[in-house]
Every structure is written in structure tokens, then in C-alpha cells.
Amino acid sequence: MTPPQPRQRIPVTVLGATGVVGQRFVRRLANHPWFRVDHLAASERSAGQRYGEACAWRLGGEPHGGLADLEVRACDPSAAPAPIVFSALDSGPAKEIEPAYARAGSLVFSNASAFRMAVDVPLLVPEVNADHLDLVDVQREARDWSGAIVTNPNCTSTVLVMALAPLHRAFGVEKVFVATMQATSGAGYPGVPSLDILSNVVPHISGEEEKVETETQKMLGTLQMGRIVPAAATVSAMCHRVPVIDGHTEAVSVQLRGNPAPEEVAEALRTWSSVPQEMQLPSAPTRPILLHGEPSRPQPRLDVEYGEGAAQGMAVHVGRVRRCPMLGVKFTLLGHNTERGAAGASVLNAELAHARGRISL
């Protein structure tokens, strides 16, 4: 099924465009077939400057996504209206700014945690719960907004739920234990001071374990009568910051209904395909899960950037699927925290919304 192509690229605004995730948005959108960046916005510190001055570009590819001369604005929907807004704001400012854009009619695709657990806000990963996008109707009715907020989960939850979803569908997930090794880029820029992270592991990331435990249940839940009934799965997370630039690694043990053999679990992961693949959305990886056979994979340095064009960094890597003496089966997974876990996730959500006719132009 090929999705409808817009006649002209749809103008979008990027909020928080100067940050770690904002830069990923700008680079990703520079060559996007459906969307083009019209406005860039950030804090009052950056407003009024050219993007090239306000933003210390830290990515490869064309510097500033070719937008170095575009003026950065303050986050004000009356100054820069757009049908689609991508938000890479911190949670604090997002609480006020994202509703202002939704009230003004924009569909806001947010990375911030501010509204993720709100009962009328979709926490969306198109491979996992594409039907949760319908919560937008409930939200508009409840809040009397012409626009809406659609969130993507925390980067750690995103890559975890990508591996759990096919197992939940095939067998039913009962319990999950996950220990994470999270990249430093997950803390924004400049993030953890180098003297705290080099040759070191920091066994605490504020609020992260709670996010992984609750967001996963919401995403694996079902939409019934206009509300999400969370999955009954128990999730326990232990989160660690490690000296890796990009790519969250997670050691996962799962208890599945019927206690399937590791070979059956591996097959369910390997053969999984879902809505973005069927709809051929531009940022969808050909396979959402790449199953590795070598015992030393996946590794952030070797695997995290896998993929071509818009699908680069969008697949989740799984390896070492084997018997767990405690919960039944265990494996190692890896996902790109600022692409699959942030900018790429929001762009894929917007592609799904467009393909489902939910963007008003």
C-alpha cells in the first residue's frame, strides 16, 4: 500500500531547533519527501539570530541542514503557524508552549515527557500502537483544541517496546526486567560532564526508570471506548549512563505466556512487520527488528547507524536471544536514542498521521 503523496511539501515548524534532538530534526527534514522546514524556534536566548549563529551544529551532513540563514524565532504560534510542529523542547517549557500550538491548530509531535502519560494524549510508536492515534479525537473534544499533541516515548522505552510488541502479540508479555546502558547524547548538550562519564558508569538517570516502567504499559495497552487500558505486564528497569555517544543498549529478560522456546521468540522478532512497513512510510525501516546471529552483536559503534536515507538509525537491533533461568527468555537490544528514540520517532508519527488523513492543510 503506497501512502498518498502531498502535492507540495507540507510546511513544518521545529521547536527546540538548536538542541541535540532539534538538530536531528533539521537534518532529517532537509530532504524529507513530504515535509519542509518553514520555521525554527528556540528559547529567547536564540530568538532573533540566524540559525547558523544560534546553533553550534554538531552533526555530519550539510551544516545546519542548509538553513543557516533562517532566523530563529521565539516559540510563539501566532508568529509562526504551521500544520505540523515538531517539538524538541525540554519538558518544562513544553508544558506551556505545546498546548499553545495545539490550541492554534497545529498537530504537535513532541519528544518531551510533559504530556506522555495524559489520558487523552497518544504515546505513539507506529509499529506498536498505530491505532492509539485515534486518541487525538478524544483530546480535541476534551480540550476544545483544533490541533492536538501526539507524543513519542522516552528513548529507552521506545527501543524496548519495539522488541516487546511482537512478543506481546505472539505470546503475551507478563514480566520484563531491563538493565540499560544509555548513551551520553540522551542527556542533551552538554549533558553529563566528561570528568563524570569517561571511564565510568553512572547508575542513576533521574526519572528514567519510572518512565520506562509506565510508558511501556501504556504503549502495549489497548484503546477501548476512547481510553487506553494499560497492559498488565510488570516492568522493572535499572538505568545506567555509559560513555557511548549514540545508542542505548538494553539487557532484557522477559516472561512470556506459554514460556516459548528462544527459537520461537527469535522467529517472532525476525519476521515482525507492521503498519509503517505495510504503508511504506518514508522513515520506516524495511524490517523494524534486525536479528543478529553473532554473539558479539549488536554493538553501538557497529550497528546503531544502520539503514539508508530516512530509515537510517530507525531499526532496533536484537542479539543473543537465549534461555533465561529466571523469566524464560533474555536478549540484548540496541536502538538509536536520538533517531529512533527521538527525532526519527516524531517524524514517523507525523508520516502516519499524514497517511491516515489527519493533517489539516
User: How far apart are CB 206 and ligand NAP at their closest, in Å?
Assistant: 11
Establish whether 248 is a catalytic residue. Answer: yes
Residue 317 phi/psi, 5-degree rounding, is: -100, 135
Identity of the residue, 111 or 129, whose beta carbon is nearer to ligand NAP in the bound complex: 111
User: How far apart are CB 263 and ligand NAP at their closest, in Å?
Assistant: 33
Contact criterion met (CB below 8 Å) for 150 and 300: no
Identity of the residue, 65 or 186, whose beta carbon is nearer to ligand NAP in the bound complex: 186
Site residues for ligand NAP per CB under 6 A: 16-22, 42-43, 45-46, 75, 88-91, 93, 111-113, 154-155, 185-186, 188-189, 337-338, 341-342
What count of other Cβ atoms lies within 10 Å of the Cβ of residue 288? Answer: 24
Contact criterion met (CB below 8 Å) for 36 and 353: no
**Kind plus residue range of the DSSP H or E element containing 340:** none
* Dihedral sign of CA atoms 58, 62, 66, 68 in order: positive
User: How far apart are CB 43 and ligand NAP at their closest, in Å?
Assistant: 3
User: How far apart are CB 84 and ligand NAP at their closest, in Å?
Assistant: 17
**CA-CA-CA-CA torsion for 173, 185, 55, 315, nearest 10 degrees?**
-40
Compute CA 332 distance to the chain's CA centroid, rounded to the nearest angstrom.
Answer: 19
Q: Which of 32, 75, 132, 155 is catalytic?
A: 155
Q: Which of 248, 317, 336, 354 is catalytic?
A: 248
Establish whether 55 is a catalytic residue. Answer: no
Identity of the residue, 46 or 283, whose beta carbon is nearer to ligand NAP in the bound complex: 46
Identity of the residue, 113 or 299, whose beta carbon is nearer to ligand NAP in the bound complex: 113
Tell me which residue of 32, 30, 34 sits closest to 67, measured CA to CA: 30
Q: Which residues are the active-site residues?
A: 155, 248
